[in-house]
Amino acid sequence: MTEFLQQLLNGVLLGAIYALIALGYTMVYGVLRFINFAHSDVFMLGAFVAWYSVEKLGLPTQSIGGGLAALLLSMSVCAVLGVVIEKLAYKPLRQRSTLTVLITAIGVSLLIQNVAQNSRLGFGPNPKAFPALFPSQQLHFGALTVSTHQLVVLGVALSLLGLLYWIVHHTRIGTAMRALSFNATAASLVGINNDRIISFTFGLGSALAGAGGVLYAMNYPSIDPLMGTLPGLKAFVAAVLGGIGNLPGAALGGLLIGLVETFVSGTRLSTFRDAIAFGILIAILLFRPAGLLGKLKVEKV
Amino acid sequence: MVFPVAQRWLLAALILAGVASAVSGSMDPYFLDVVMGVGVSVVLASSLNLINGFTGQFSLGHAGFMAVGAYTSAMLTTVVAPRLGWHPVLLQWVFFPMSLIAAGLLAAVAGLAVGAPSLRLKGDYLAIVTLGFGEIIRVVLQNMDMVGGARGLTGVPAYSNLFWTFGTAALTVYTVWALLNSTHGRGFLAVADDEVAAEAMGLDTTRYKITAFGIGAFFAGVAGGLYAHLKGYLNPGGFSFDKSIEIVVMVILGGMGRHAGVVFAAILLTLLPEGLRELGSRSVPNPFGGADWSLDWIKEMRMILYSLMLIVLMLMRPQGLFHRSERRRRGA
Amino acid sequence: MSTSLLQLTNVTIRFGGLTAVSSVTADVREGELAGLIGPNGAGKTTLFNLITGVYQPTEGRIEFAGAGTAGAKPFHLTERGIARTFQNIRLFPSLSVSDNVRVAFHRHLEHRTWQSWLRSGRFHAEEAELRERTRELLSLFNLERVQEAPAKSLSYGDQRRLEIVRALATGPRLLLLDEPAAGMNPSEKDELMRLIRFVRDRFRLAVLLVEHDMKVVMGICERIHVLEYGRKIAEGSPEEIRVDPKVIAAYLGD
């Protein structure tokens, strides 16, 4: 029983992290109808910025203040990066075919990965040990062991999700985002500055991805420049599972994928757990392409 | 039977390949390796062009088909062939091509398996699903101890020679050309242009799309087999998304659907890294006196330059180096 | 009285909460030149999509040449003899004019793929024959002069005509034309009317035409069906429809 609860906790934590990344994918898809391939690398950079802030900038480890500072720094850098990428690489291609932008996104992703891997310009290809940002202790609830890190991950993830919900539903800019995702033309006609909202969406999504990167690294403290690919793909599957473009769907999808992956890794099939996520993707697209909470769009002939 | 120009070219290419192969003993091995690598790239790019460029199905999992073919033919030559006790010449000239065909067929089955469910998906989604399939194939191979698992498969005999690589490249180019230049073949292009209209004109779009995947995968599998017997060893990691992207870039650079362009791009992009490596091992004399400047940062930066090129290409000239009209326009 | 080539019985289609077509019963006879009119949003194109198999009716039955069309995919129906053009021209932009028509002829090919690969004599003979048929068809409509040009380079009027030619290449018994006169000036419309009559007479087929231009509809249609909000409100000859109070009310508003 405790085994089960332990796995459940792990699954929820992993799911929360996937949810944060998935939200970025789904928000960008919602306003631009485009899958940002480079999102997973922003996630990776989030982890690296936090690492850098401790190793090179001297932020303290094992401290709440230091941990929060690293987190905020990561989120800010990632937000800025997201906006810059959008302005330089995606905005000029707004009118072009989906394929062109997709390939550009792939190019950006490869660029970030390769710069990060470069020994001169980046961090070098070897994995680095991620420091303990927050005070770490093991807490015991009966037979259940929970580390303070895990609690922090849970707390931060939930807070960010809550914050996002508040932004999307209770602020003007959030309403503008939603309007844009329904109908871009109408949105611009009622005075919404589409470009600015799109930048904001990218910034917000990237900040969440950055946070996700830090939280992920806290749980799996070995980071490397290619660490973003698999979690990114799985988070993408989560977004599609929930219904691409649908925010609660992305959160739900993230949770589900996290749980499935955690439980599968406890079984004999664990080496296939990466393939399971893709299997789920293919299954959804075959049987319920709109996702769990999404709506199917009918093409007008 | 009419013997059109294209078939004459094919025959000439095959004869040339045979001759070149015969004299290849005296050629520099590095040079041979590179040229054979070019042949393999041409097969890969042409086969992907059929799926992506001509039929408009954006597939990002081509490396998966290549992997299936590579492992199939390698397993045949390393496990099955030794038990036959054939003479080495027979092995290279009879068994090897048979293994390549087997490789292609198995890869084609994989292609059909990928193509069938992907049919109703468009653009982004199709790309992701094919990517997913490619990764699944890789993960499965990585977990199959029978084929060496994550450590890979070694000891693959060097059966690939100029005749097989160049010959296959010529055959692939011919096949794609012959396929497209027929009334039936124009159907592929019609499906890519406008599926709804194609269906309204009586074209079985499903069948076209599946066929494209099947044929494209077949040749990718054969390319995989050639690759395996060129390198001598296989590692599942070498058939990842990165490899698929390399092939996709060739198709895009060549101008999706422009066959001559794609072939040219395949040649260029295979030679380029070699060229850069050469350049990187040299040094430039320092105009200010003092030690020569080393250029080996070029080697490190290869992938960075590559990805920058991709971005710049999409921003400036998404049609690739050779024109073909851009098909789908996004709604404003 | 000729038998019905196309028979719709109580056809209804619902998209979620919206009923786009409701209990429509109508028929088109062999060789008839029929019209389908109604205010915007009446469901005319939806009806076309139902007839061609793009949509399946939620209720009701559609029969073509005596056999039901339920579950048939659009390309099956084209093989059975229903062809169409589109409201927004949907040519194959990257293909040449003659290729646009040639692909529509593909059903007449008998050679197999491997024969195509080997370029056998059979292949060449059939390809030559198809090219000839394409050329003939194009010349009938004065498009032979541009046959190698990319379809997207044609003038608007030529493109509309090409779409009709392409549909004809599939060898239909029923031709559905979706707003063929859209964007045309009066003399082009006169030309179109002659063209449609010519097509019907020469190729011995039935034509069902959706059109907003009353002059065209009244000018060539033998029978007209009127839709409003997805329901059929009237059917009859041009003279009858012209004076039908329900039709007048639908167009002028209540």
Residue in C closest to B199 by C-alpha: C75
Average pLDDT over residues B274-283: 73
If you average pLDDT over every residue of chain A, what do you get? 87
Can you state the percent helix, strand and coil of chain A, rounding each to 5? 70, 5, 25
* Tokens found for residue B238: 């070498």
Q: Which of C105, C119, C127 sits opposite B7 (nearest CB)?
A: C119
Residue-wise pLDDT tens digits, B99-137: 999 999 999 999 998 888 777 777 777 887 888 888 889
Q: Is residue B253 part of a domain?
A: no
Contact status of A126 with chain B (Cβ, < 8 Å):
no
pLDDT at residue A299 greater than cutoff 60: no
Residue in chain B lying closest to C49 (CA): B200
Token pair in block for residue A249: 């769907």
Residue A33: band (very low, low, confident or very high) from pLDDT cuts 50, 70, 90: confident
Best interface-test mutation with B: which of C92, C123, C147 has the largest number of B CBs within 10 A? C92
Q: Is C54's CB within 8 Å of A301's CB?
A: yes
Task: Name the closest residue on chain B to residue C89, using Cα atoms.
Answer: B197
pLDDT band at A257 (very low <50, low <70, confident <90, very high): very high
| pLDDT at position C117 | 78
**What pLDDT sits at residue C121?**
77
> Cβ of B200 and C74 within 8 Å?
yes
Rounded CA separation C81/C169 (Å): 11
Question: Above 50 in pLDDT, residue C104?
Answer: yes
Q: What is the largest CA-CA distance in chain B?
A: 73
Cβ neighbours of B127 in A, within 8 Å: 35, 102
Average pLDDT value for residue range B27-45: 90
B187: chain C residues, CB-CB within 8 Å: 103, 106
Helix (H) or strand (E) holding C13: strand C4-15
- C209 membership: H or E segment, kind and range: strand C206-210
Taking the Cβ of residue C115 and every Cβ of chain B, the question of whether any pair is shorter than 8 Å is answered with no
Residue C74 sits at the chain B interface (C-beta within 8 Å) = yes
- Lookup: tokens for C88: 């927004």
Q: Is residue B35 part of a domain?
A: yes
Our CA-based measurement puts residue C184 at a distance from the nearest CA of chain B, in whole angstroms, of 22
Instruction: State whether C49 and A301 contact (CB < 8 Å).
Output: yes
Task: Tell me whether C54 touches chain A (CB under 8 Å).
Answer: yes
- Which of chain A's residues have a Cβ under 8 Å away from the Cβ of B48? none
Of the candidates C194, C197, C134, which has an alpha carbon nearest to the alpha carbon of residue C166?
C134
- Is B103:B70 a contact under the CB 8 Å cutoff? yes
Per the structure, the count of domains in chain B is 1
- A301: chain C residues, CB-CB within 8 Å: 45, 49, 54, 86
Whole-prediction pTM value?
0.85
Minimal CA–CA distance to B256: which of B108, B65, B46, B115? Answer: B46
| Beta-carbon separation of A298 and C54 below 8 A | no
> CB distance from A114 to chain B under 8 Å?
yes
For residue A19, give both structure tokens.
């949810």
Among residues B28, B18, B288, B296, the alpha carbon closest in space to that of B166 is found at B18
CB contact at 8 A, A186 and A179: yes
Among chain B residues, CA nearest to C80: B202
Question: What distances in angstroms separate CA A160 from CA A178, B184, B329, one per listed residue?
Answer: 18, 55, 37
Which of B179, B183, B203 is facing C75, going by the closest CB pair? B203
Pairing type for strands C18-29 and C4-15 reads antiparallel
Give the pLDDT of residue C1: 42
Q: Which residue has the tokens 């969406």?
A: A201
- pLDDT surpassing 80 at residue A117: yes
Rounded distance between C-alpha atoms, residue C227 and residue A204, angstroms: 49
| A297: closest chain C residue by CA | C15
3-state secondary structure string across C59-118: EEEEEECCEECCCCCHHHHHHHCEEECCCCCCCCCCCEHHHHHHHHCHHHCCCCHHHHHH
Band of pLDDT at residue A300, cut at 50, 70 and 90: low
CA distance C27 to A170: 55
Q: Determine the pLDDT at residue B292.
A: 67
Q: Does C109 touch chain B (CB under 8 A)?
A: yes
Reported as type and span, the H/E element at residue A9 is helix A2-32
Cα–Cα distance for residue pair A213/B116, rounded to 1 Å: 36
Q: Is B155 left (phi over 0), alpha (psi -120 to 50) or beta?
A: left
| Residue C151 contacts residue B194 (beta carbons within 8 Å) | no
Q: pLDDT band for B293, please (50, 70, 90 cuts).
A: low
Query: Considering chain A, what percentage of its residues have pLDDT values greater than 70?
Result: 97
Residue B97 lies in a domain: yes
The full set of domain ranges for chain C reads 4-81+171-252
- Minimal Cβ distance to C170: which of B189, B201, B257: B201
Per CB-CB distance under 8 Å, the chain A contacts of B142 are 271
CB contact under 8 A, A111 and B140: no
Q: How many CB pairs under 8 A join A and B?
A: 127
The Cα B49–Cα B55 span in angstroms is 8
State which residue of chain C sits closest to A300, comparing Cα positions. C46
Beta bridge partners of C36: C210, C225
Most confident of A265-269, B224-228, C128-132, C248-252: B224-228
Both structure tokens of C200 = 């019907």
pLDDT at B318: 67
Which range (A97-106, A266-275, B14-23) has the least confidence? A266-275
Mean pLDDT over B244-262 rounds to: 84
Contact C47, C246 (CB under 8 A): no
Domain range enclosing B117: 28-240
User: What would the mean pLDDT of A195-220 be, rounded to a whole number?
Assistant: 93
As a whole number of angstroms, the distance between CA A214 and CA A72 comes to: 10
Task: Tell me the C-alpha distance between A89 and B316, whole Å.
Answer: 11
Quote the tokens at residue A115: 């710069």
B133 touching chain A per CB within 8 A:
yes
The Cα angle at residue B98 between residues B93 and B102, in degrees rounded to 5: 155
CB B157 within 8 A of CB B229: yes
Q: Which CATH class is domain C4-81+171-252?
A: alpha beta
pLDDT tens digits along C182-203: 888 899 899 999 999 999 999 9
Per-residue model confidence (pLDDT) at position B115: 84
Mean pLDDT, chain B, as a whole number? 83
Which pLDDT band holds residue B25 (cuts at 50, 70, 90)? confident
Q: Which of B124, B132, B330 lies nearest to residue A96, judging by beta carbons?
A: B330
- Asked whether residue B284 is assigned to any structural domain, the reply reads no
Task: Give the sign of the dihedral formed by CA B63, CA B67, CA B68, CA B72.
Answer: positive
Q: Kindly list the residues from chain A whose CB atom is less than 8 angstroms away from the CB atom of residue C45.
A: 301
**So what's the ipTM on this one?**
0.89
| The predicted structure's pLDDT at residue B332 | 28
Asked if residues B53 and B177 have their Cβ atoms less than 8 Å apart, the reply is no
Task: Label each residue of chain B as H, E or C.
Answer: CCCCHHHHHHHHHHHHHHHHHHHHHHCCHHHHHHHHHHHHHHHHHHHHHHHHHHCCCCCCCHHHHHHHHHHHHHHHHHHHHHHHCCCHHHHHHHHHHHHHHHHHHHHHHHHHHHHHHHCCCCHHHHHHHHHHHHHHHHHHHHHCHHHCHHHCECCCCCCCCHHHHHHHHHHHHHHHHHHHCCHHHHHHHHHHHCHHHHHHCCCCHHHHHHHHHHHHHHHHHHHHHHHHHHHCCECHHHHCHHHHHHHHHHHHHCCCCCHHHHHHHHHHHHHHHHHHHHHHCCEECCCCCCCCEECCHHHHHHHHHHHHHHHHHHHHCCCCCCCCCCCCCCCC
The dihedral built from the CA positions of residue C148, C150, C155 and C157, taken in this order, carries a sign that is positive
- Using CA coordinates, name the residue in chain C closest to B178: C117
Identify the pLDDT of residue B319. Answer: 66
Q: Does residue B268 form part of some domain?
A: no
Please tell me the predicted confidence (pLDDT) of residue A298. 54
